[in-house]
Chain A
């Protein structure tokens, strides 16, 4: 296992099979598909950033890499993918075995190229806040304070814009110095980019170009007209703060039997169009803060009438959610628009109710946006997560923009698609498999937003037919992958990360052991989780559609380790008897003198056994003679903090005691091996679960029986 982790450390890649089944048939019989989990921006220590442009193969455009065969004398390199021989250009003439460019160093299978100043300007990143005002006073206060903190943390050079919405959408013209000013759009009406161009007076006093797409300064918009709405954080901080400070609740009255009139979809559409006009192709995020269900506009999820409940999975299943399909259709169109523009939608949904995450999922996921679901804008899950986005620390998200991901691989390996936060660019080629999974039928994907942890799941297909001869055609059993990630770094620079991998084929039963040795169980679990959630959109229970969508979006962007935690939470026991150790995720793990630390990804639970809690309540930890107890108490908390620091969205931390009400956060995750009606009594100090669910043991028995039959 650790070798897989090492490989991941080097290149950010984990594969279900690190040795490939040699033929299509064999691959099929392996059940678990050949797949790779790739984290394009995974921080890799010592990765060089080359200040020049990469060398590409004339034929397949793949990039010079350590696997290329180089003829130092002839100054020629052979592309490992298409075997094309390429001459080095003039500035590589000094190349020799002793004088290698960094991209040929064997350890730099992952390397980055940065654009030089003359190849591209630094683009400021753009943050467009889209803020719901249909909130109760308390929530508005929370939100305002969170936003003003965020504004302080905005990167110096970034541009900011503000849209608020409720019954109407207000686009604030922050660049108007005389008084607060905003454009107000009707929430119930869709508005196109063209109309927006017209209505926001982008061409005031000047003739508008009569041909071509109009977007951005290059296409005819004056920088001044853009600077009305998007301007450097440093310049508009005062205005922004004063607008936020006076930001009123949506002023339109809401009858007692109705929901507030909230036009989330219209606001997002306007935000998208505004960015599309002003900064097309440049990194920008729409950060939407939504405090309730959308009830107006094309993306509404429920009518205003409170007597109509918000759709459940059951409704979706039965096709009884009339608005759902319309909303999804609308958001699909919006996602296309955003992808086309290269912009991201981040969603911060903070409400006790559903707000429509299920409908919005398509946009967030395709654009690689961040999603945070919390109960309130006052909740730490929201507040801390928001802060994490802008805080620059070791744990920052390393937000990058406007990425394009491309795959290149050797013959006989094809790509079915990617499951993860990206969108197909529909660049078809011989590499595309006929079977499509997720975003497929392409060899290039748009990743409007990505960060250090964003992980893609690539599903491959082995195209080789049976027969040893096919193998023998090749000089070796080695074959290659090259992952290219173009992106706008958070500092505004355009970068290209290249990861080149080599794996080998094995065929025939003789090599089954090789095959097995290359099997990465954790990666397989993560891949299967994504595959299954993709295929089973509907069969869900116990959650609301919003929660389901949320969990899946997170699952689809996390790396293998975190995905595994999501699938099977980790449980660590702290006690006087031993050093911290993982224990079975079972009710029997509970003991009065233990502290349990549960990490279920979305929440982290510190659970004090009854005795521990008693001691703690008696204050023993404060007595010098019980220093060890104090240490015991502190250890799981420190571990929890460590987990929380790294994770995004920031998980909910629950500190609870055995038999306390909050203990449910732990109990719900435990295997019910001991329940109120089981025969075996719990150990002393242990606990029982009040559930009719079957235990893991029963489940496995059942599974075995099925497998054998």
Chain B
């Protein structure tokens, strides 16, 4: 790490200083929650890195400040700069200035207000955001992790430390510190404005101590204002400072934690107002600016249900984000009762007991909007957290929504990468929904000649291709080949060496462009949008109401299909045979054609099974209306699912298209029939545990073989499972998983509460931005090679993946390995090319470019590590390994990965720290928490149903980063006090840690993970509240199947607003479930309290202790 020139030097030493405390045993780390900024906690190196952070401009968008001059890379200037040179080196991030303002106030509440003062001095830190400014904080704690040093941005800070050390006063212990820092920063820059920001900081409290240090390091903010900060925050700073921290550790430390800090975090940053202005919610709202036309999903409500009217929402959003009402000051609840004091007890010395669980790192919500410039000063900016809200200005690198890397600096060598233990992968979400204010993706038409490409590696022209020789040739940034510039693409170079037309030619200045594909890119005319619905009408489906729900959902969704004569639909039903319908007949009455041979399937008609929607809409609607009654007396309980999808495929074979299957029972007959092996597995106890994971593997290869054929003919299968029993999702999910589709799972299906979600899921499935018959390839600079693609697709040749359909939510993970070294100052480029057909039949090539700097310093890797992306990567790897390995192995692998990463950091980047401290890199300070949550997630729990686990695994494989985190670490908010909150119900303001200690009997809590939404009702809830929200007066009167209704009162309306906000944010209607204390449903709810100690798992504090011990063992 040290090597990292910039920062390196300084820091290391400093750390040592920090260390001091170590002895102190305790240690608590700095954890605070918020230290936002810099990741680098630990020692030296970290800091080093941290500082640099400043430089990255990106961060704050608006920035009020000017950033950056310093911003620029080396520029040690760090904005704040003044201080320590060391710090200066701001790399990238100039703190934007967004500055969150320093909520000083808040801070005050916390302990150390003072800091500000100091802050000022430090000034450097603009980032308020990162409250955690100076990395210093950190380490303090003894074992526990210390905080995350604010490494990243600050990076360099170390240097500063020295300075600090001295100065630092201890004062600032935690929270306060955070604020302080910002302030300081602010001062310098004036950024303070942001005020709201503090939030982030709050997270870690730890920092306080460090504060002093901060001053110096201030810069820490770097992390860019965006939401992310919170994470890093606190700790780091502290450490950096070293000195201070120590103190903390020692005696006082503990108390520090206790501190108030927490609360603030939530407050959320108010962040720059300006942003607010922007539409905010990405997905939904606004009209997509982007060239691509994606509609925003709307969540129509089902009758009787809450009405999340979208439209409204759209507008609403702004508020949400914007509003972070009075955050700053509010200390909110966090303070809490110190909870788990004892928690740590076991392992460590008594001291531990002092750890305040409220101060250990936790994610902080952030509702402010930042503006992210993808590049600045010819250098890539580190993107904001995937879960935060930001607006992208495409300056040459793609929007991080479309593609982002687990590492924002690329290790020069494979050895460096393996030393870090961190995963190296790209998450590509090629059609991701833009924020309404994002730069639109330009469409570029090269006419008949098609887009210019490198003649060797075939990569597409992009902003990083270097034109030389007066523009007559250009050098490919991916393979290095020198190409001749096509005659009609010639242009002189300007004095800066760029083509004179570089700014007019969007492909030469934007990270993402869409080329109009020429005939050369088509093997046939672009396919029409074809949707074929397959509905289960077996006994079970009819009786549970699943058939009726499916028909009604389809019927209502017809309106959302793309307009135009090219949109085709078909309908078939199935039980133990397949029923097609000839929809185009003179008499208007459909003709039912049954294919009874479910071992050798065929389509009964040549035409008229799939018909143009515009012509046959009426008959389609009539048919859908009559299907439930047609089969109302059906006595067939068997399901020929495999044969049915084969038949549907045959109907779609000539064109390709989407096959949407509604399935209710285990496929029991015909091709691809399955057995109820879950039950068999249970009875066969001996095979039970050891082989249990085999039940997560497909039963056989039949469906896989079929799916590959489907993919070949561009047929994508989505399956809506409305089951009451085991349906073997492990086997079934292979089909969507291979064809670019997905599984929707409603278990146990309820005709009362599920049709709403079914309808909304279907509607979003049909109306979300999507493309057909796609092929995708990711290219990278020489020195790297693609190792593997993971996601929902079919791969027939090694280099490309086939996606019969691709939509805005599907994410593909691409892992890389080194096959050569990079030069220290070079950049490594990635280019994802997606050739697809729009729903309107246009053939397009979306080219997404990302160019990142290479580094040979480990510190830099840690400083710029992207936690959310790494975690998504780990999550996907875990999902793909659970069918292959026993659960305990998988859990161990994950835990070890976490330990190894932290160990690498500890060993190489924080060497100075005391071995008694658990030191977390600022950027990855939540890694232990997420790892713990992952180990306890549905997919990895022993007690899970096999279908639930298989569904979880299949769901995860194509899940986007922004949904991956909440899936594992859900968001919980309280509802009973909704009206008391003044923020109009903005949900981001008050996340509650997932610990049962935060659940009160008189409270109502809402927990959502993007998929399910649990509403937990304590047994002492105020009846008036119940009446207002649910229309009942006692807990006992609550229905088990919940359909939220909106009542005419403020409370209920606010809940609606909150629900709608969540739905929009997740692009999911959410499956509502009511949980009552003392009920099995209550237990279910409690199983999401991942920070609790459970029969099979450690509590969060215990886990930290465990991790720390392991690291210590390794160090020894």
Contact B635 A185 (CB under 8 A): no
Residues in B whose Cβ lies below 8 Å from that of A185:
596-597
What's the minimum C-beta distance from A206 to chain B, rounded to whole angstroms? Answer: 7
Interface residue stretch chosen among B603-611, B908-916, B932-940: B603-611
What's the minimum C-beta distance from B580 to chain A, rounded to whole angstroms? Answer: 8
Q: Taking A204-B635, A251-B606 as contacts, is the C-beta distance between A182 and B592 under 8 angstroms? A: yes
Residues in A whose Cβ lies below 8 Å from that of B602:
168, 184, 186
Which one, B577, B585, B591, B592, contacts A199 given CB within 8 A? B577
Q: How far, in whole Å, are A205 and B604 apart by their CA atoms in the complex? A: 25
What's the minimum C-beta distance from A582 to chain B, rounded to whole angstroms? Answer: 56
**Which chain A residue has the least Cβ–Cβ distance from B607?**
A251
Contact A246 B586 (CB under 8 A): yes
Q: How far, in whole Å, are A179 and B598 apart by their CA atoms in the complex? A: 23
Chain B 741-764: CB-based contact to A (< 8 A → 1; otherwise 0): 000000000000000000000000
What's the minimum C-beta distance from B579 to chain A, rounded to whole angstroms? Answer: 8
What's the minimum C-beta distance from B1004 to chain A, rounded to whole angstroms? Answer: 45
Residue A189 CB within 8 A of the other chain: yes
Q: Taking A179-B589, A179-B630 as contacts, is the C-beta distance between A205 and B637 under 8 angstroms? A: yes
Contact B577 A189 (CB under 8 A): no
Residue A178 CB within 8 A of the other chain: yes
What's the minimum C-beta distance from A138 to chain B, rounded to whole angstroms? Answer: 18
Chain B 625-645: CB-based contact to A (< 8 A → 1; otherwise 0): 010011000111100000000
Instruction: Give chain A interface residues in 209-230, CB to chain B under 8 Å.
Output: none
Q: Which of A176, A178, A253: most chain B CB closer than 10 A?
A: A178
Q: How far, in whole Å, are A173 and B596 apart by their CA atoms in the complex? A: 13
Contact B604 A184 (CB under 8 A): yes
Contact A201 B577 (CB under 8 A): yes
Residues in B whose Cβ lies below 8 Å from that of A242:
587
Residue A181 CB within 8 A of the other chain: yes
Q: How far, in whole Å, are A390 and B602 apart by their CA atoms in the complex? A: 38
Q: How far, in whole Å, are A168 and B635 apart by their CA atoms in the complex? A: 27
Residues in B whose Cβ lies below 8 Å from that of A195:
597
Q: How far, in whole Å, are A182 and B593 apart by their CA atoms in the complex? A: 5
Instruction: Give chain B interface residues in 561-582, CB to chain A under 8 Å.
Output: 575-577, 580
Residue A101 CB within 8 A of the other chain: no
Q: Taking A201-B576, A251-B606, A253-B606 as contacts, is the C-beta distance between A181 and B637 under 8 angstroms? A: no
Instruction: Give chain A interface residues in 514-565, CB to chain B under 8 Å.
Output: none
Residues in B whose Cβ lies below 8 Å from that of A205:
539, 634-637
What's the minimum C-beta distance from A190 to chain B, rounded to whole angstroms? Answer: 11
Residue A668 CB within 8 A of the other chain: no
Residue A399 CB within 8 A of the other chain: no
Residue A583 CB within 8 A of the other chain: no
Q: How far, in whole Å, are A183 and B602 apart by their CA atoms in the complex? A: 12
Contact B629 A168 (CB under 8 A): no
Contact B597 A199 (CB under 8 A): yes
Residues in B whose Cβ lies below 8 Å from that of A180:
589, 591-592
Residue A200 CB within 8 A of the other chain: yes
Residue B1035 CB within 8 A of the other chain: no
Q: How far, in whole Å, are A180 and B588 apart by their CA atoms in the complex? A: 11
Residue B595 CB within 8 A of the other chain: yes
Contact A184 B629 (CB under 8 A): no
What's the minimum C-beta distance from A192 to chain B, rounded to whole angstroms? Answer: 12
Which one, B585, B587, B600, B604, contacts A189 given CB within 8 A? B600
**Which chain A residue has the least Cβ–Cβ distance from B589?**
A179
Residues in A whose Cβ lies below 8 Å from that of B577:
183, 199, 201
Contact A251 B608 (CB under 8 A): yes
Contact B597 A186 (CB under 8 A): yes
Residue B594 CB within 8 A of the other chain: yes
Residue B1082 CB within 8 A of the other chain: no
Residue A191 CB within 8 A of the other chain: yes
Residues in A whose Cβ lies below 8 Å from that of B594:
173, 181-184
What's the minimum C-beta distance from B710 to chain A, rounded to whole angstroms? Answer: 20
Residue A170 CB within 8 A of the other chain: yes
Q: How far, in whole Å, are A253 and B637 apart by their CA atoms in the complex? A: 36
Which one, A173, A182, A246, A252, contacts B585 given CB within 8 A? A246
Which one, A173, A191, A206, contacts B597 given CB within 8 A? A191
What's the minimum C-beta distance from A329 to chain B, rounded to whole angstroms? Answer: 23
Q: How far, in whole Å, are A120 and B1091 apart by their CA atoms in the complex? A: 81
Contact B593 A170 (CB under 8 A): yes
Which one, B586, B589, B605, B630, contacts A251 given CB within 8 A? B605
Q: Which of B580, B605, B629: most chain A CB closer than 10 A?
A: B605
**Which chain B residue has the least Cβ–Cβ distance from A176?**
B592
Residues in A whose Cβ lies below 8 Å from that of B626:
178-179
Residues in B whose Cβ lies below 8 Å from that of A186:
597, 600, 602
Residue B590 CB within 8 A of the other chain: yes
What's the minimum C-beta distance from A174 to chain B, rounded to whole angstroms? Answer: 12
**Which chain A residue has the least Cβ–Cβ distance from B581?**
A179
Which one, A168, A176, A191, contacts B604 given CB within 8 A? A168
Residues in B whose Cβ lies below 8 Å from that of A252:
606
What's the minimum C-beta distance from A112 to chain B, rounded to whole angstroms? Answer: 44
Contact B636 A182 (CB under 8 A): no
**Which chain B residue has the least Cβ–Cβ distance from A184?**
B604
What's the minimum C-beta distance from A449 to chain B, rounded to whole angstroms? Answer: 29
Q: How far, in whole Å, are A242 and B585 apart by their CA atoms in the complex? A: 12
Residues in A whose Cβ lies below 8 Å from that of B593:
170, 181-182, 184
Contact B587 A246 (CB under 8 A): yes
Instruction: Give chain B interface residues in 670-711, CB to chain A under 8 Å.
Output: none
Residues in B whose Cβ lies below 8 Å from that of A181:
591-594
Q: How far, in whole Å, are A317 and B716 apart by their CA atoms in the complex? A: 55
What's the minimum C-beta distance from A702 to chain B, rounded to whole angstroms? Answer: 61
**Which chain B residue has the least Cβ–Cβ distance from A195?**
B597
Q: How far, in whole Å, are A348 and B605 apart by their CA atoms in the complex? A: 26
Q: Taking A185-B596, A186-B600, A199-B597 as contacts, is the C-beta distance between A179 and B605 under 8 angstroms? A: no
**Which chain B residue has the least Cβ–Cβ distance from A177?**
B630
Contact B636 A179 (CB under 8 A): no
Q: How far, in whole Å, are A181 and B631 apart by their CA atoms in the complex? A: 13
Contact B636 A201 (CB under 8 A): yes
Q: How far, in whole Å, are A176 and B605 apart by their CA atoms in the complex? A: 20
Contact A199 B596 (CB under 8 A): yes
What's the minimum C-beta distance from A282 to chain B, rounded to whole angstroms? Answer: 24
Residues in A whose Cβ lies below 8 Å from that of B600:
186, 189
Contact A178 B629 (CB under 8 A): yes
Q: How far, in whole Å, are A382 and B630 apart by their CA atoms in the complex? A: 39
Q: Which of B598, B604, B605, B626: most chain A CB closer than 10 A?
A: B604
What's the minimum C-beta distance from B632 to chain A, rounded to whole angstroms? Answer: 10
What's the minimum C-beta distance from B594 to chain A, rounded to whole angstroms? Answer: 4
Which one, B539, B596, B630, contacts A178 given CB within 8 A? B630
Residues in B whose Cβ lies below 8 Å from that of A246:
585-587, 591
**Which chain A residue has the least Cβ–Cβ distance from B635?**
A205
**Which chain B residue has the least Cβ–Cβ distance from A245?**
B587
Q: How far, in whole Å, are A252 and B609 apart by their CA atoms in the complex? A: 13
Residues in A whose Cβ lies below 8 Å from that of B575:
201
Q: How far, in whole Å, are A206 and B539 apart by their CA atoms in the complex? A: 12
Residues in A whose Cβ lies below 8 Å from that of B576:
201, 204
**Which chain A residue has the least Cβ–Cβ distance from B626?**
A178
Q: How far, in whole Å, are A246 and B596 apart by their CA atoms in the complex? A: 23
What's the minimum C-beta distance from B618 to chain A, rounded to whole angstroms? Answer: 15
Instruction: Give chain B interface residues in 66-86, CB to chain A under 8 Å.
Output: none
**Which chain A residue has the least Cβ–Cβ distance from B605?**
A251
**Which chain A residue has the least Cβ–Cβ distance from B596?**
A199
Contact A179 B591 (CB under 8 A): yes
**Which positions in B face A, CB cutoff 8 Å?**
539, 575-577, 580, 585-587, 589-598, 600, 602, 604-608, 626, 629-630, 634-637
* Sampled A-B contacts (25; CB under 8 Å): A168-B604, A170-B593, A170-B604, A178-B629, A179-B591, A179-B592, A179-B630, A180-B591, A180-B592, A183-B596, A184-B580, A184-B595, A185-B597, A191-B597, A199-B577, A201-B575, A201-B576, A204-B635, A205-B539, A206-B635, A246-B587, A251-B606, A251-B607, A252-B606, A253-B606
Known A185-B596, A186-B600; 12 more pairs at CB < 8 Å? A168-B604, A173-B594, A179-B591, A179-B626, A181-B592, A184-B602, A189-B597, A199-B598, A201-B576, A201-B577, A205-B636, A246-B587
3 nearest interchain CB pairs? A205-B635, A199-B596, A184-B604
